Amino acid sequence: MTEALPQSILFCCDHNAVRSPMAEGIMKKFYGTQTYVQSAGVVSDLDIDGFSIAVCKDLGIELSRHRSRSFDEMEESGEEIASFDMVVALSPASQKRVLDLTKYYSLKVEYWPIMDPTAVGSRREEKLAAYGEARDQIADRLIQEFGPSHSA
């Protein structure tokens, strides 16, 4: 059974450079402006990953302008984690940090175990396949949670 779309959702992973930007972009593509969507990482020490950009481009999703940010940077800019209806952690480290940050708040926190494609393969084709698999895991989970994409 699919759930209603939350009014706001935050996706998070380790560096906000691979999985969470993909999830943010795919969510926006699938469900449009019906939900406010953002992403963050435990740290923001990496730029958006080129393979993430490439595999999302296959779906018509533009990620090249994404700027990585951490939970701390998000809060410093005035965006409180408590303002989101739902937080989805895509990595064990981000799940731990989110649970620490939200222990006094009443909001929905979920962990989606999306594979980390960064350590898979050494050749470009292998990397693209791994990143495509992670992208597809995210897309499938979104459809499972919120129903079919609203984009044509």
Share of the chain above pLDDT 90, in %: 78
Domains of the chain (ranges, CATH numbers): 8-146 (3.40.50.2300)
Q: What is the value of pTM for the model shown?
A: 0.93
Cα–Cα distance, 12 to 24 (Å, whole number): 9
Q: Determine contact, residues 73/79, Cβ cutoff 8 Å.
A: no
Judged against a pLDDT cut of 70, whether residue 5 lies above it is answered with yes
pLDDT of residue 2: 67
